[in-house]
Amino acid sequence: MTTLDPRIPEGPLAQKWTNFKAKAKLVNPANKRRLDIIIVGTGLGGASAAASLAEMGYNVKAFCYQDSPRRAHSIAAQGGINAAKNYPNDGDSIYRLFYDTIKGGDYRSREANVYRLAEVSNNIIDQCVAQGVPFAREYGGYLDNRSFGGAQVSRTFYARGQTGQQLLLGAYAGLSKMVSKGKVQLFTRRDMLDLVIVDGKARGIIVRNLVTGEIERHSAHAVVLASGGYGNVYYLSTYAMGANANPAWVAHRRGAFMANPSFVQIHPTCMPVHGEFQSKLTLMSESLRNDGRIWVPRKIEDARKLQEGKIKANDILEEDRDYYLERRYPAFGNLVPRDVASRAAKERCDAGFGVNETGLAVFLDFSDAIRRLGRKAIEEKYGNLFEMYQKINDEDPYETPMMIYPAIHYAMGGLWVDYSLMTTVPGLFAIGECNFSDHGANRLGASALMQGLADGYFVLPYTISDYLADQIQVPRFSNELPEFKAAEDGVRARLDRIMAIQGKQTVETFHKRLGRIMWDYCGMSRNEAGLTKALGMVQELQQEFWSDVKVPGGPGEFNAELEKAGRVAEFMELGELIIRDALNRRESCGGHFREESQTEEGEAKRDDDNFTYVAAWEYMPGNAPRMHKEPLQFEVVQLIQRNYK
Amino acid sequence: MDFKLKIWRQKSAAVKGRFETYKVSGITGGTSFLEMLDVLNEELIAKGEEPVAFDHDCREGICGTCSLYINGRPHGPDDRVCTCQLFMRRFKDGDTIIIEPFRARPFPVLRDLVVDRSSFDKIIQAGGFISASTGNAPDANAIPIPKRNADKAFDAAACIGCGACVAACKNASAMLFVSAKVSHFALLPQGKVEARERVQKMVAKMDELGFGNCTNTYACEAECPKGISVENIARMNREFLSAKLVTDK
């Protein structure tokens, strides 16, 4: 085990980013034209980075698995984006946004990174408005705000329930502008299958063209991974079907450490699971908790009748409703952070108070808000969400409460990066959800969009230049170098190995089984015995996969099953690491709840003496991974038990 | 429920396609259309046959990836939904369902139900942006925008780029798609600076890529999963005409 140095700049917290920028090395315009950068992923992080770096003069090659960069899953983010503008004059500031984010993350994120995030948050809103992002406005023409979980101010900017879509289309427009200027080359429908390292530095990638099946080599002076999170390890999640961990995981195999992988976010307001054919879970934006009240029946007999379909929500009298979040957490009520809300829902359902036929759902009720504000106001704020709910569930949420249940939504863990967003592989950067840095053990709502765009527009452009300033003498890399050939051969061998198995079970069956193990033993609540058991189960599942998976077709053609097989193979390895990390962390913090570590009231109990560190795992071929630690030092914030009561 | 499916199969752009008939059974009403195809594919793989290729990703109606032409309508029988938000309760037990790719010359078939819509990206690259490079922006509240305009701009910006409008149009016109982007920016003060060049470049690119002309049947609006209004086409025509008049002087 070694201790990792995050290379945080000198100076007081509020001065660190300014100091970094003042001292960072620059690359002059003529030299920028000679430098190439590969960016994998075109979501908020990838697209904003590609646009910004190309505008600065670098040559960018952007890759995505989708048919268009505009379809990256950032598009599905609904609720909003945080910034410390303090337009509502309710006492917000950079410090407060920083503090809420650190506290919301249960003190498991890096102070300096989070402060920088809060610092650049305001620039993001300015940038997006300049690009034409149609944020919600008040009648006076100024921008409107709403509140989100974990905050007592209104600092969330939004574009109806489609904020992610509008922000992504803004970044995509910027990217498209630079494609038209010849500064970004676009490679769609490509899966990254290996990272190429030359003389210890990241210098290229190997991709598979998903239409033709061809394997391609691409070289550059630096590689940026903006490939998103790994929640699909759990099979059912709010992620896109194609969202995968391949880029991060192949980088991990090539030496990039994976940090805090067990920190996954379980979002409290998703539509409940309805049947065995279900392929994904749909999120209902957290913004709904602004006006919706969460409840279950107070009497167990009412819950039973609901489960048997004998009564409906509206049959239960007001005094027989248990608004359990308002009861347990009067200060924050329905706006407690996600981890707290999810666990509280699970607690009620485990106690038998669930409200649908499976007993795994709670009500999210708008009747009070509709009475107070009128149906029209609710329609304006949440119209598209209500419509979506109705389409999927065939029930009208204006008339009867929504049913919701927690689901896997986001990965706080990811590739370990230093203050410059560089991984442990020199020249390999990770931004957005792909890295681990800013959200600690729990991400607050409306902070993912903020981080993706902060990294891409305002952080990476400075930090990558600081790295590239030393690379200006390095000529372009040839794809013919032996390192590229070896990597390509490895990719081909792995694909051939999968194709050669021709067993009996489909990829989907393995993915479902993996998801079940992860959800049951490494989900909302975890314990030593369960995790140990799950570790063995995932290892066995991998052996079975590599001897019995069935993939039709061939590698040299359009083959969706082969794509999926490669992704699930990596998910299983990553699942194993998630479990190991959860086993190691014998404390409860944020989304990671260890049953062995709770207070008398059943709240999560952190162990700051022993676990105030980032666990960064090194891949050891053929052996168990090795853990390294980055101790978290708090210079400004005092560690206290989170209290939302 | 049981269904008979007639599905377009085509190995690649280079070879001819044909319909194949399949059966699926035991489908519940809460199963989505794409999940029903997942069930079919699992059965095909188990039988050693090639699964049906179809595009899909977010499965929550926002990414615009899914693109099926179901019983003669893009995204199927429901109004204002994407294929991924279509549920089998919409069909009757025993129904025959015909599933084709979006058909338009600028959207060539890649395999089975998967088409190439990169022509939409090319139209955006031609001018569908505001040239606000990172770092240039003034304070976000520096320019108040009337709520009405902001809301209208949002309505246009809600387009997901799925291409249903093109698939629905007998001329394979992309006018609804292009006009939505033109309107989004034309309605905002930030977008005015480049408005003239934008509309001309985007329309020229649309024509160059082989999209057809608009003959005002409004099939595009009827089939748009996001309810983008043909009002945008009228606005684009105005923008285009005034741009022509001014620039030609």
Residue B136: the pLDDT is 87
B247 or B236: which leads in pLDDT: B236
In angstroms, the CA A361 to CA A405 distance is: 5
Q: Residues A157, A183: contact at Cβ < 8 Å?
A: no
- Given a cut of 60, whether residue B147 has pLDDT beyond it is yes
Best mutation target among A139, A168, A178, A279 (most B Cβ atoms within 10 Å) is A279
What is the identity of the amino acid at B25?
S
- Given a cut of 90, whether residue B227 has pLDDT beyond it is yes
Q: Residues A110, B123: contact at Cβ < 8 Å?
A: no
A231 close contact with B: CB closer than 8 A: no
How many other C-beta atoms are found inside a 10 Å radius of the C-beta of residue A623?
A: 7
The answer to whether the A18-76+164-266+410-471 and A267-408 domains have the same CATH topology is: no
Residue A645: the pLDDT is 82
Q: Please classify residue B73 by burial: count the beta carbons closer than 10 Å to its beta carbon, then call 0-12 exposed, 13-18 middle and 19+ buried.
A: middle
- Given a cut of 60, whether residue A164 has pLDDT beyond it is yes
Region A502-511: what's the mean pLDDT?
A: 97
How confident is the model over A79-117, as pLDDT tens digits? 899 999 999 999 999 999 999 999 999 999 999 999 999
Q: Residues A148, A79: contact at Cβ < 8 Å?
A: yes
- Given a cut of 90, whether residue A276 has pLDDT beyond it is no
Domains assigned to chain B: 3-111 (3.10.20.30), 118-248 (1.10.1060.10)
Test B158 with A165 for CB contact under 8 angstroms: yes
Residue A602: the pLDDT is 85
How is chain A split into domains, by residue range?
Answer: 18-76+164-266+410-471, 267-408, 482-605
What is the identity of the amino acid at A325?
L
Region A240-267: what's the mean pLDDT?
A: 98
- Given a cut of 60, whether residue B248 has pLDDT beyond it is no
- Given a cut of 60, whether residue B249 has pLDDT beyond it is no
Pair type for strands A258-259 and A613-618: antiparallel
DSSP H/E element including B83: none
B30 close contact with A: CB closer than 8 A: yes
In angstroms, the CA A164 to CA A172 distance is: 12
**CATH of range A18-76+164-266+410-471; options 3.90.550.10, 3.40.50.1110, 3.10.580.10, 3.50.50.60:** 3.50.50.60
Residue A285: the pLDDT is 85
Region B200-218: what's the mean pLDDT?
A: 97
Confidence of residue B247 (pLDDT cuts 50, 70, 90): low
User: What beta strand segments (E) does B39-140 contain?
Assistant: 68-70, 73-74, 96-101, 109-111, 114-115
Q: Residues A221, A53: contact at Cβ < 8 Å?
A: no
Residue A288: the pLDDT is 92
A-B contacts at Cβ under 8 angstroms:
215
Ramachandran angles phi, psi of B112, nearest 5° = 45, -105
Q: Residues B247, B196: contact at Cβ < 8 Å?
A: yes
Residue A275: the pLDDT is 81
Region B70-85: what's the mean pLDDT?
A: 96
What DSSP string describes A593-606? -BTTSB-TTS-B--
How confident is the model over B18-38, as pLDDT tens digits? 999 999 999 999 999 999 999
Residue A385: the pLDDT is 87
Contacts of B12 in chain A (CB under 8 A): 557-558
- Given a cut of 90, whether residue A373 has pLDDT beyond it is yes
3-state secondary structure of A182: coil
In angstroms, the CA A361 to CA A343 distance is: 12
Region A337-358: what's the mean pLDDT?
A: 94
Contacts of B42 in chain A (CB under 8 A): 506, 508
Burial A254-265 (b: 16+ CB within 10 A, else e): bbbbbbbbbbbb
Ranking A207-216, A448-457, A634-643 by mean pLDDT, the lowest is A634-643
- Given a cut of 70, whether residue B71 has pLDDT beyond it is yes
How confident is the model over A111-154, as pLDDT tens digits? 999 999 999 999 999 999 999 999 999 999 999 998 888 888 99
Ramachandran angles phi, psi of A67, nearest 5° = -80, -15
Q: Please classify residue A99 by burial: count the beta carbons closer than 10 Å to its beta carbon, then call 0-12 exposed, 13-18 middle and 19+ buried.
A: middle
Token readout for A560 is 């969706």
A172 close contact with B: CB closer than 8 A: yes
Confidence of residue A627 (pLDDT cuts 50, 70, 90): very high
Round the average pLDDT of chain A to a whole number and report it: 96
Contacts of B62 in chain A (CB under 8 A): 75-76, 162, 165
Kindly report the CATH class assigned to A482-605. mainly alpha
Region B220-235: what's the mean pLDDT?
A: 97
Domain A267-408, CATH 3.20.20.70 — does that match?
no
